Structure 1
């Protein structure tokens, strides 16, 4: 009965919004995750919740660690993440964007459960697929190539950002906000991370690492060879399916951005089967724990 009452209350307080209409003027931090397991701990810690339905997505305003936030799911993959980020920016007064979620580890010095906060993000599958000839792969002369090493027929390309006041901007990397990165380094010294989930414990105590490169693509990565390519070519430390898209939208809108990603698996680098389903809950909680400490520390 209590569950039914809560569901009815949620439906009654979920307010529809028309396109591009700002539904809440309060300055808020956007706190987002890709899919429900990543958001559970953050949602549970958010008080004074109010729900808004926009384009089939639910945005929840409230207070997290004393700060006004809007909490929402990006949806898995790049297009979903870009779309929902822009939705939030159009309809709420967003001061910062904080992403919390799981990822695959690329850097061999990182272990499952670790939380990585990258300096910058790129879209690793922004590529040209080259023609295969008797002489090998050949790129069309009209294709831009930023001289990063290819992976077979796939040649990485930078992104062209249209500019109203001049020629397009060529950009490979989208940065995290320097001030928020500095705060993340402070938080890293005191935030607590879980080592065990159910009857499984990690061999190494998880750690928080701030710095390095992150890559994103609409691909669930579980391939050792491609993992090595990402490490060698992009100096990537972590791979996911959303962060670079969010960083891209944040950059275009001039909104400070940072992503916290806890490793649920090694993206194909483990000795056995992919570890995501075993450690997804632990990784989600570790990322959320760091994000809560980070939000609390924000000015």
Structure 2
């Protein structure tokens, strides 16, 4: 099982829980093999951004015998019903910043005649399906959503019923609510860190997006291309511009890391 986080603060808690860790270095990337809850795992950081995530995931699939991928990390919340500290397990992932920037006309923002979008636009920004240009040239079929593995999702649902999430971090900072695990809805991935309430509202209403990040959609596409099972757990470190005050991305990172690790171990036990 490949366990992927974007960067070191997300991966630190899991690294400390590995049994019999063994480090592998491949073209400057570190991969740590070991056991977690009795399951053989390969733990590594994808790096922030879609390109790093796709590249590192494919690198792992080439060099190791991987049967499944689980992403674990923080992200921005898009669903106004959710709060910081909650963990989201979407049923599908899309890349919502695969876009055409349309020209402005008297009628608004118009795409060129050879392009179309299945989704409402955000100003000049029109989301395209992955592979739309290949489809136009007869080289494949475009799509937007990449679904998670049904068996992994079922195990996540069982784990969500039993895991106990903390609401206080190691420095004693306390959330004003008890975090919970939420299964369902969409997750969307793009190249921008989002801290804009209007864009957040558009993403939620357009894609049923509960969470926004910069890696998972790319990993989902790589997993499907390689025929490997996939799921993602994303803890809300901020509300992507929906907070009443400043962005809180860096405040509850350690709390999210511990809760994600607890949920991931519970998930692995349920998967057995």
- What's the TM-score once normalised by structure 1's chain length? 0.87
Counterpart among 182, 191, 213 of residue 163 in structure 2: 191
Structure number, greater radius of gyration: 1
Counterpart among 53, 70, 81 of residue 25 in structure 2: 53
Q: Which moved more, 1:224-233 or 1:190-199?
A: 190-199
How many pairs align? 268
For 1:116-195, list aligned pairs within 5 A: 116-143=88-115, 145-160=116-131, 167-195=139-167
1:32 matches 2:4? yes
- What's the TM-score once normalised by structure 2's chain length? 0.95
* CA distance in structure 1 between the aligned counterparts of 2:17 and 2:228, rounded to whole angstroms: 24
* CA distance in structure 2 between the aligned counterparts of 1:122 and 1:72, rounded to whole angstroms: 22
For 1:248-287, list aligned pairs within 5 A: 248-287=221-260
- Cα RMSD of the aligned pairs, angstroms, is 1.4
Give the match's secondary structure for 1:42.
Answer: helix
Give the match's secondary structure for 1:200.
Answer: coil
Deviations 1:23-69 (A, max 9, x none): xxxxxx00110001111111011011111111210011111110111
* CA distance in structure 1 between the aligned counterparts of 2:164 and 2:23, rounded to whole angstroms: 30
Give the match's secondary structure for 1:267.
Answer: coil
Q: Is the 8 A contact 1:38 1:285 kept in 2?
A: no
Gaps of 5+ in 1: 1-28
| 2:47 alignment partner in structure 1 | 75
Gaps of 5+ in 2: none
Counterpart among 20, 25, 37 of residue 65 in structure 1: 37
